[in-house]
Amino acid sequence: MLLSLRWLSRYVDSSDLDASRIADDLTMATAEVEGIEVSGEALRDIVVGHVVECGKHPDADKLSLTKIDDGSGELLQVVCGAPNVAQGQRIAFCRVGVNVPVDGKKLKKGKIRGLESLGMICSARELGLSEDHTGILVLDTEAAPGTRLTDVLPLSDTLIEIDNKSVTHRPDLWGHYGFARELAAIYRRPLKDALEGLRLDVPSRGDTVPIAIDASRGACSRYCGVVVRDVVIGPSPDWMQQLLVAIGARPRNNIVDLTNWLQFDLGQPTHAFDLDRLAGPRIDVRFASVGESITTLDGEARTLTTNDLLICDGNGPVALAGVMGGEGSMVEEGTTSVLLESANFDAATVRRTSMRLGLRTDSSARFEKSLDPALADLTARKFLAMLPEVAPGARVVGPIVDPASWAYEPRHVHLRLPRVSSLLGVAIDEPAARGFLEPLGFTLREKGYGSFDVTIPSWRATKDIAIEEDLVEEIGRCFRYDAIEPVAPRAPVEALHRDPELALDDSVRTVCAYDLGLHEVYNYSFLDDALCERLGLADLPYVKVTNAIASHLSRIRRDVLPSLLGSVTHNFRGRDDVALFELGNGYRPESPGESRAFADQDGDMRERQLPLEVHQLAALRVVRGDEHPYRRLRGDFETLLARLGVHAADVRVPTTEEAAMLPWMHPARTAVFVGKAGEVLGYVGDVHPRTVRALELDFAVRKGPTGGAAACCLDLRACLRAPTVAPRYVPVPRFPSQPVDLAFLVDDTVRAGDVGRLIEDANPKFVRRHQLFEVYRGKGLPEGKKSLNFRVELGSDKRTLNAEDEERYLDRIRNLCRERGFELRG
Amino acid sequence: MEDQLRSIVDRAHEAARTASDVAALTSVESTFLGKKGELTLLLRGLGALPKEERPAFGKLVNEAKVRLEQMLADRSRDLESVALEAALGGDGFDPTEPGLEVAHGSLHPITQITRELVRVFEGLGFAVARGPEVEFEHFNFDALNIPASHPARDTQDTFWLSDGNLLRTHTSPVQVRAMERFGAPLRVIAPGRCFRNEAVDATHEHTFYQMEGLMIDRDISVANLIHVMKTCLREILGREVRIRLRPGFFPFVEPGFELDVHDPFGTGEDRWLELLPCGMVHPNVLRAGGLDPEEWTGFAFGLGLQRLVMIRYGITDIRDFTGGDLRFLEQFGRV
């Protein structure tokens, strides 16, 4: 929204204040200023010219050939097409090489019907001053040729651009008058009345149009209508056109310009109907019926719903209330009788209609802020009072019809100065409070002990000032927040509550990045349909977005790993390995999460439920190269568990049901880690060959040429619930360890974990550590067999072990092997 | 015979001194101290002396022998050291040749800024709280004084879910969740992921990261808010900063402010940058959290994390944060 300083100065004297100061003060006390513009910039190089000679163009009837004195000392020959050019006139002259204000294009030397033309005599439209292009602008001045036009005409204006978002809560600030009130309060200057200097004669009886309001849903609290006859449509006064042009509005004709001007003046939209084109004539304010439609001023036919409020005449809809007028009844050339509408429409109703139709107008933008209904009558009266100047000859032929009989029931708010002082952190006394509040229209009545009964003016009572804190804001902004000295809070010293899940997240991230060497990725919570299809996940249940950013992004992910898999392919350009991790949430619609009861709009308690939220770590390694990354990632996973102190009670392959929910994992080459109660802590394994191919990572299919893909997932909430293993001191062994290498030849189906247990069981007292360092299959071994090669450290707390001890231990191993059908090699 | 001893000792010392390497020294040793060495032979010829002279002369020869042995040992150490020093030189060592590359990981820049903020605010006595990303309408709107008809619900461009819940549009729902859970007094921050239905371009994202801050106690004032904001910004930006509060409208605070920082990049530029929205917690929000606004007051603020990271590193495209591109992520490996 643009504010014109010339416009503001109609209501508050601000001639001695420069624009940047006003902009700073408004920013600090009222609303955000986005910038300052000086209008008339485009006119900087336009000068006053004197028409020294004026004759006919020899080869064209409608053209004049003139000699212009532009103060340069040389008379310039200029061809002019305007009918009103005459010798002796002072005119606005655009020299060759100067930009024409209306379009900013540089004026070139011209040749018109064979004669050279060295400049242009401008019309008001060419100057960007109004729409008038009927002739050149003749200046009422004796100024010397060459004088700047802006020194002669009051054209220059300074515009302050207000960020509309910063005044959404201030229905009183959608016109110049509201801002003038703010300036008056800021600079402690008198504010002129909105009708000052205007005389108003409205007959108490006469010609009216009946108005009926269907107020059943409170959608129209007020509708003022008044009839004006003997209107002559023509241009509006220059000053009005100039102000409208300055703030970016296009002048049209006197009646439309006046309604527009009032909208930017008082903030109240009004609408002028051509009375002769209203059937009845009568006005009905009602909601649309099913299937009804209207063609709006912009020529669009619009189908309506029963929530759209209409202005109708005897035949049907003539305007979308508060949004836009209809095509058939607009004021235009030839209109002689006008019905002025100045009404108040419900904010939510206007907003709903304007949003649904995608039709946002200056009018709807104002109504949806909840305008003060008092403005409707004030604006109608100002319209009538200005008519004599804007449309000379027009007659107000009857009273203002205002059937809703709305009256402001003043709102009161209790204000306690001690509370104000305590909330702001500065002492505010009564003179200060009055000094801030009264210029804004509030009245204070003392109730004793520093408390007051504050009456709220009507223009601040709609969705704005309702509670004491709102008045604290009024006082605070007038005092200036930047004038408040910082004060350290007095607060007790207390131990911080530390959220164990956040602490766990933090450790997991540190280990993954700085210990395991993985890179952290953030993926969207939305699962792309294309990825979902590729990975074969489309049949799983998802929480869905009803208004997705794009139709393929409606699914909320269940698991983090699929998104992470989606980050692999594009990273493989120019690389041989990708190692990533991500912490995030997944949502499971089939499982209940947090459940709460909340009061709905009618105050009834309603049960609400969130889907189950899972909190996961996902990580993966994909390599081109000789070795499949499974064992590496398995090591990462085990390291992570060890760092976190999480102990898995068992490791197994997934059940059929589990595998079905993890279709991206190899069902037979995935290790599921489970806790004591059988709960799943996480899993690590090969990525499913189908997934690998779907991601176009064919090199990573096991038994493919080279390389591979492995992935893992840790359920962080399950880890939090699992008992953790704290480090415990064990004395450093005094007697040396004795390493023994053992190679077990076993069937392919035998699990390394079982062999490990056998190694321990053979002598739990002597086995200090054991480690599987190689799994060998192939050459030299029978089909279906593998060799599990362990390094075992034997040792005792009591003495150094000797050869006999080792031999006894090996005997036990051999016996156990015989029982299980294993063979100890070498 | 004493002359003979003196002559041997002189020659032996001279030979040891002039020996140029360990091999020469070894031959000196065998010439004088070996089985047939001169000093050894002299000692053996002791029998030729008169009986009474033997002990004194024997002592002389032995002392000479010990001195010579000591000298040879010293000299040997010196020569070894010289030889080692000589061997250290050169052999084409290039100090600019880099080491073997170690595969190192990285934390996402949003994680890093979050950690930094958490450290700063924990130092000021703020605990860290969290809330779900799929959230009840109640906590995201109603409890924050944004009733169903409020225009703020449109401007927030909410992602609605098929089950009637929503993707939280800000971290502010954690305000009420934290009040419910911990009561007052309360000092918490809540970093997290939020969503708004906005078209994505270089400066807009539908997924973004915020950090909510909330302090509630008896008699918390705007003056306290200014103090805490100044303190935390000094910690975050690493220098004293000028800030200013000006009116700003957010339904869940009253009064509400925009906080601007002067010369945010410390370049000496006379410019205010709009950094964060904040305000005094609205009485309706306190009530929704089960607190009596007559007894407790507080302030809240919200910080956009992507913006902070973009300012810090000069990142120009907000889409990089969720691209999962290693060429972006690897740049933030610093601890």
CA distance readout (Å), A819 to A194, A717, A746, A823: 106, 41, 13, 10
Strand-strand pairing, A60-69 and B134-135: unpaired
> Tens of pLDDT along A381-414?
999 999 999 999 999 999 999 999 899 999 999 9
Query: Please, are residues A324 and A359 in contact by the beta-carbon 8 Å criterion?
Result: yes
Backbone angles phi, psi at B154, to 5 degrees: -75, -45
Residues A504/B128, Cβ–Cβ less than 8 Å: no
The pLDDT score that the predictor gives to residue B154 is 65
pLDDT band at A217 (very low <50, low <70, confident <90, very high): confident
Closest C-alpha among B269, B201, B278, B204 to residue B244: B278
What's the confidence (pLDDT) of residue A740?
Answer: 93
Model confidence, pTM = 0.85
The structure tokens listed for B42 are 């002299």
Structure tokens at A338: 């006008």
pLDDT in tens, A161-204: 999 989 999 999 999 999 999 999 999 999 999 999 898 888 99
Angle at CA of residue A575, ends A574 and A580, nearest 5°: 135
Residue A589 phi, psi dihedral angles, 5° rounding: -65, -25
**What pLDDT was estimated at residue A703?**
58
Cβ atoms A312, A318 nearer than 8 A: yes
Asked if B221 and A472 come within 8 Å (Cβ–Cβ), the reply is: no
Is beta strand A785-794 parallel, antiparallel or unpaired with respect to A708-715? Answer: unpaired
Query: Which of B206, B214, B231, B326 to mutate against chain A (most A CBs within 10 Å)?
Result: B326
Which tens digit of pLDDT belongs to each residue from A266-279? 999 999 999 999 99
Q: How far apart are CA A693 and CA A685, in angstroms?
A: 16
| Residue numbers in B near A172 (CB within 8 A) | none
**Disruptive mutation site among B102, B107, B240 for chain A (greatest number of A CBs within 10 Å):** B107
* Count of CA atoms in the C-beta half-sphere (13 A) of A699: 14
**Is residue A126 over pLDDT 90?**
no
By residue count, chain A amounts to 826
How far apart CA A577 and CA A566 sit, in angstroms, is 15
- pLDDT on residue A402: 94
Task: Looking at the complex, report in whole angstroms how far the Cα of residue A780 sits from the nearest Cα belonging to chain B.
Answer: 36
Q: Between these two residues, A474 and A751, which has the higher pLDDT value?
A: A474
Distance of CA A113 to the CA centre of its chain: 57
Average pLDDT (A720-737) is 87
| List of chain A residues whose C-beta atoms are within 8 Å of the C-beta of residue B326 | 519, 571, 575, 578, 580
And the tokens for A150?
């802006």
d(CA A142, CA A139): 9
Residues pairing with A607 in the sheet: A597
User: Among all chains, which residue has been given the structure tokens 């009568």?
Assistant: A282
CA atoms of B323 and B304, how far apart (whole Å): 19
C-beta atoms surrounding B62 within 10 Å: 12
For residue B198, CA distances in Å to A135, A593, B305 come to 49, 28, 17
The angle at the Cα of A780, spanning A776 to A786, to the nearest 5 degrees, equals 30
β-strand partners of A339: A227, A273
Instruction: Give the residue-averaged pLDDT of B183-199.
Output: 94
Q: Which residues of B touch A605 (CB under 8 A)?
A: none
pLDDT in tens, A621-636: 998 877 889 999 999 9
Average pLDDT over residues B68-76: 88
The backbone region for A119, taken as left when phi is positive above 0, alpha when psi lies in -120 to 50, beta otherwise, is: left
Query: pLDDT value at position B43?
Result: 79
State the amino acid at position B51 in one-letter form. K
Give the pLDDT confidence score for residue B58 in this predicted structure: 83
Q: What is the pLDDT of residue A704?
A: 54
Minimum CA–CA partner of A550 in chain B: B199
Pairing of strands B134-135, A785-794: unpaired
ipTM: 0.85
Three-state secondary structure along A726-788?
Answer: CCCCCCCCCCCCEEEEEEEEEECCCCHHHHHHHHHHHCCCCEEEEEEEEEECCCCCCCCEEEE
Look at residue A431 and give its three-state secondary structure: helix
Tell me if chain A has a CB within 8 Å of the CB of B321. Answer: yes
- Cα angle A323-A328-A329, degrees, rounded to a multiple of 5: 75
What are the tens digits of pLDDT across the range B94-151? 888 898 888 889 999 999 999 999 999 999 999 999 999 999 999 999 999 998 877 6
User: CB–CB of A76/A119 below 8 Å?
Assistant: yes
A585 contacts in chain B (CB < 8 Å): 132-133
| pLDDT at B156 (0 to 100) | 58
Pull the structure tokens for residue A483.
């004038």
Of B209, B121, B211, the residue nearest B175 (C-alpha):
B211
Neighbouring residues of A363: CB distance < 8 A, sequence distance ≥ 6: A263, A269, A271, A322, A323, A324
CA B250 to chain centre: 37
Q: Supply the DSSP symbol for A249.
A: P
Q: Does B325 touch chain A (CB under 8 A)?
A: yes
Percent of chain A with pLDDT over 70: 98
Partner-chain contact B217 A578, CB within 8 Å: no
A489 DSSP 8-state letter: -
Q: What is the pLDDT of residues A418-456, one digit of tens each?
A: 999 999 999 999 999 999 999 999 999 999 889 999 999
* Terminal CA-CA length for chain A: 90
The per-residue pLDDT for A114 is: 86
Please check whether residue B167 touches A, CB under 8 A.
yes
What residues pair up with A544 in beta bridges, in sequence order? Answer: A555
Please name the residue ranges forming H helices in chain B: 2-18, 22-33, 38-44, 54-88, 109-123, 137-140, 152-155, 173-182, 222-237, 283-288, 305-313, 326-329
Between residues A778 and A306, the one the model is more confident about? A306
Tokens read off for B266: 């410390």
**Would you state the pLDDT for residue B140?**
96
Q: Please, which residues have CB within 8 angstroms of residue A233's CB and are 6 or more apart in sequence?
A: A253, A254, A255, A331, A332, A333, A334, A335, A391
- Choose among A523, A516, A525: nearest CA to A565: A523
Across the beta sheet with B253-262, the strand order is B127-128, B186-195, B207-217, B297-304, B272-281, B253-262, B243-247
Reported as half-sphere exposure (CB side, CA atoms, 13 A), residue A489 has a value of 30
The band of A554, judged by pLDDT with boundaries at 50, 70 and 90, is very high
- At A215 the pLDDT is 63
DSSP-based three-state secondary structure for A525: coil
Q: What is the pLDDT of residues A589-624, one digit of tens each?
A: 999 999 999 987 778 898 999 999 999 999 999 988
Residues of B in contact with A613 (CB under 8 A): 132-134
**Residues in chain B within 8 Å Cβ distance of A467:** 254, 283
Note whether B217 contacts A491, CB cutoff 8 Å.
yes
Within A602-732, residue ranges assigned H as helices are: 630-644, 656-661, 689-694, 716-721
pLDDT band at A238 (very low <50, low <70, confident <90, very high): confident
Spell out the residues 6+ positions from residue A649 whose beta carbon is closer than 8 angstroms to its own: A674, A675, A676, A678
Read off the pLDDT of residues B278-311 as tens digits, 9 standing for 90 and up.
Answer: 999 999 999 999 999 999 999 999 999 998 888 8
CA A679 to chain centre: 42
pLDDT at A496: 87
DSSP labels, A326-393: BSTTB--TT---EEEEEEEE-HHHHHHHHHHHT---HHHHHHTT---THHHHHHHHHHHHHHHHHSTT
DSSP H or E segment with residue A531:
helix A529-534
Task: Please tell me the distance in Å from B131's CA to the nearest CA on chain A.
Answer: 11
8 Å CB contact between B79 and B19: yes
Q: First vs last Cα of chain B: how many Å apart? A: 79
Kindly indicate the confidence band of residue A707, based on its pLDDT and cuts at 50, 70 and 90: low
Quote the strand ranges of A12-131, DSSP E. Answer: 33-39, 47-57, 60-69, 75-80, 90-94, 110-112, 115-117, 120-121
Nearest by CB to residue B110, choosing from A470, A522, A545, is A522
CA B282, B287, B293, B297 torsion-angle sign:
negative
What is the DSSP pairing of strand A220-229 with strand A293-295? unpaired
Give whichever of A139-143, A499-503, A771-775 has the largest mean pLDDT: A499-503
> How many helices (H) and strands (E) in chain A?
21, 39
Banded model confidence at residue B241, pLDDT cuts 50, 70, 90: confident
| Min Cα–Cα distance to chain A from B314, Å | 19
Q: If you ran DSSP here, which 8-state letter would residue A157 be given?
A: E
- Taking a C-beta distance cutoff of 8 angstroms, is the pair B312, B110 a contact? no
Is the dihedral angle over the CA atoms A631, A636, A639, A645 positive or is it negative?
negative
A733: confidence class by pLDDT, cuts 50, 70, 90: confident
What mean pLDDT do residues B152-163 have? 80
Provide, as residue numbers in chain B, all residues whose Cβ is less than 8 Å from the Cβ of A179: none
Tokens 């990573």 found at: A700
Q: Which residue has the higher pLDDT, A561 or B39?
A: A561
User: Helix, strand, or coil here: B4?
Assistant: helix
Mean pLDDT score of chain B: 89
In contact, A174 and A366? CB cutoff 8 Å: yes
Minimal Cβ distance to A481: which of B160, B222, B330: B222
